[in-house]
Amino acid sequence: MPDLSGIFRRSKKAEKKMVQVNTMGAYGKTYLKAMPLRDLSDLDIVKSEVKSGKILILKITPLAAKSIEDVKRAVSELCEFVESIGGDIARLGEERVVICPPNVKIWREKTPISSKPIPTAA
């Protein structure tokens, strides 16, 4: 029997269901992983985890306890890395940094710019 599937018009409901099925298959599982950053040598592990599609939350206090200069170097290197792969990076408070692969973006609230002068404490 010949294939007649192209002759009949699909209903809107059937089209919507096909779109949902197709888009659901496009999303793989994304894992969130928390880990401490103890040494600059840990950066290679961080980069490979992000390249594999994981979202990382890094606790930077173990490295900060050793050297603030190393923290600055690590954050700078991670920012360059994330920019090169099209990912995203943000600070979470004073102790943590979140790094996302290219398929995940971090929402940032835009603060309105006011033309009024900012009050200062006297």
- Concatenating the DSSP letter of every residue in 61-72 gives HHHHHH-HHHHH
97 exposure class (CB count in 10 Å sphere: 0-12, 13-18, 19+): buried
Local confidence band at 21 (pLDDT 50, 70, 90 cut-offs): very low
Contact 99, 89 (CB under 8 A): yes
Dig out the tokens for 84 from the structure.
Answer: 């090169």
Cα 97–Cα 84–Cα 71 angle in degrees, nearest 5: 35
Contact 102, 51 (CB under 8 A): no
Q: For the residues 96-121, what does the mean pLDDT come to? A: 82
Q: Is the pTM of this model over 0.75?
A: no
Checking if the pLDDT of 17 tops 90, the result is: no
* Annotated domain spans of the chain: 29-100
Class (C level, CATH) for 29-100: alpha beta
**What average pLDDT does the structure give for the chain?**
82
